[in-house]
Amino acid sequence: MQTDFIYEALPTRVIFGEGKLDQLLPEIERLGAKRALVLSTPQQEAWAQQIAEQLGTASAGVFAGATMHTPVTVTLKAMEHVKASGADCLVALGGGSTIGLAKAIAVRTGLPQIAVPTTYAGSEMTPILGQTENGIKTTIRQPVIQPKAVIYDVNLTLTLPVGMSATSGLNAMAHAVEGLYAQDRNPIISLIAEDGIRAMAYALPIIAQSPQDKEARLQAQYGAWLCGICLGSAGMALHHKLCHVLGGSFDLPHAETHAIMLPHTAAYNTPNAGEAMSRAARALGTDDAGHGLWQLAKNINAPMALKDIGMTQADIEKALDIALKNPYWNPRPLEAEGLRGLLERAWAGEPPRP
């Protein structure tokens, strides 16, 4: 048992259950806000407009320009919209891209946020912002970045495509896997992480076969919530470092990158994080966490190779160089030869090896 740690609970209000979107206006009022700007991606603009209309006089309109990796250029455009609309509150409808934009605005303005996730990214539970500028993705951690409230309504996930359900679910699981061996881990977060992994491992294969299964969708939302808490409370290590490099420097899709990399980073760390990986394996119902995650991804038809999502083989050395320049803390030292092999296998879609 771990006996030396610090535990700090993050102050987010969670509203969970079917039909809970109708609590959005009361939550805005609870914050003392009067004009909420609804944020979304271009693909979800019609949905955002519908919600803005339902808010009536409490709406400050819609900004539908969110995109992956939270480019600073997009944030600056959104800031102009915030100023012109007179918004005193932000509502983020969508996944990590939209929630990231709300966080980027909040850290610059102090405006409170309400997250309404439609995927399983889990970023709604963290005080962490990842943003990209000049091809480099960096992270900021501040209390103002944490959404004040999160509304989990299972009905908002029923139209989430199976492929996106798989990748965003594996993305969430990455937060929990790293939470088990992160430098700031603690017994409470380890319990939450194991249950989050277990919930996702149960839900994702069912969703892959029966996308309208509401019970499985609820389990996946529950898992996303728990996994997000892990990221917000216990920090990051090798996995997130590599994914930030791959996403920010090569513009690879965020969730797909996490899904591909997770089995390989888990396998890399297994020799130096045996207890943590044993807990992850137990939650997955397998003897080996890296292989279990790889098999789960394969079973739910998630992408398996970086070469299939836009990375060239020539990019491997550049990615390795960037990753080694400013490494995160990690239970296993970052060794060039080992990381090169990890990236080569992830690029090719081969099974992970410790």
Residues 6+ apart with CB under 8 A from 274: none
Cβ neighbours, 10 Å, residue 214: 13
96-124 pLDDT, tens digit per residue, is: 999 999 999 999 999 999 999 999 989 99
Where does the pLDDT of residue 227 fall: very low under 50, low under 70, confident under 90, or very high at 90 and above?
very high
Residues 6+ apart with CB under 8 A from 166: 204, 207, 208, 259, 297, 300, 301, 302
- Pair 234, 333 in one domain: yes
- Going across the sheet that includes 59-63, the strands are 13-16, 149-152, 113-117, 89-94, 36-39, 59-63
Measured CA to CA, the distance from residue 65 to residue 78 in angstroms comes to: 8
If DSSP codes are grouped into helix, strand and coil, which group holds residue 218? helix
- Pair 290, 335 in one domain: yes
Q: Is residue 354 part of a domain?
A: no
> Model-level pTM?
0.92
Which residue shows structure tokens 């990236």?
343
Q: Give the type of residue at 239.
A: H
Q: Is residue 4 part of a domain?
A: no
Does residue 327 surpass a pLDDT of 80? no
Determine the pLDDT at residue 148: 97
Where does the pLDDT of residue 142 fall: very low under 50, low under 70, confident under 90, or very high at 90 and above?
very high
- Pair 199, 100 in one domain: no
Contact between 17 and 152 under an 8 Å Cβ cutoff? The reply is yes
Q: Is residue 310 part of a domain?
A: yes
- Give, to the nearest 10 degrees, the angle between helix 162-181 and helix 274-284: 150
How is residue 153 written in tokens? 């309504």
- Pair 58, 205 in one domain: no
Q: State the DSSP H helix or E strand holding residue 151, giving kind and residue range, or none if neither.
A: strand 149-152
Q: State the DSSP H helix or E strand holding residue 137, giving kind and residue range, or none if neither.
A: strand 136-141
| Domains in the chain, number | 2
Contact between 266 and 345 under an 8 Å Cβ cutoff? The reply is no
Per-residue pLDDT, averaged over 52-76, amounts to: 96
Q: Is residue 333 part of a domain?
A: yes
Q: State the DSSP H helix or E strand holding residue 132, giving kind and residue range, or none if neither.
A: strand 128-133
Determine the pLDDT at residue 156: 96
Where does the pLDDT of residue 224 fall: very low under 50, low under 70, confident under 90, or very high at 90 and above?
very high
Domain span at 103:
13-157
Does residue 1 surpass a pLDDT of 80? no
Measured CA to CA, the distance from residue 106 to residue 33 in angstroms comes to: 14
- Pair 152, 193 in one domain: no
Determine the pLDDT at residue 279: 97
Determine the pLDDT at residue 161: 96
Does residue 46 surpass a pLDDT of 80? yes
CATH number at residue 91: 3.40.50.1970
- Pair 104, 203 in one domain: no
Residues 6+ apart with CB under 8 A from 335: none
Q: Is residue 225 part of a domain?
A: yes
- Pair 283, 243 in one domain: yes
Measured CA to CA, the distance from residue 80 to residue 20 in angstroms comes to: 31
Q: Is residue 7 part of a domain?
A: no
Where does the pLDDT of residue 69 fall: very low under 50, low under 70, confident under 90, or very high at 90 and above?
confident
Determine the pLDDT at residue 292: 98
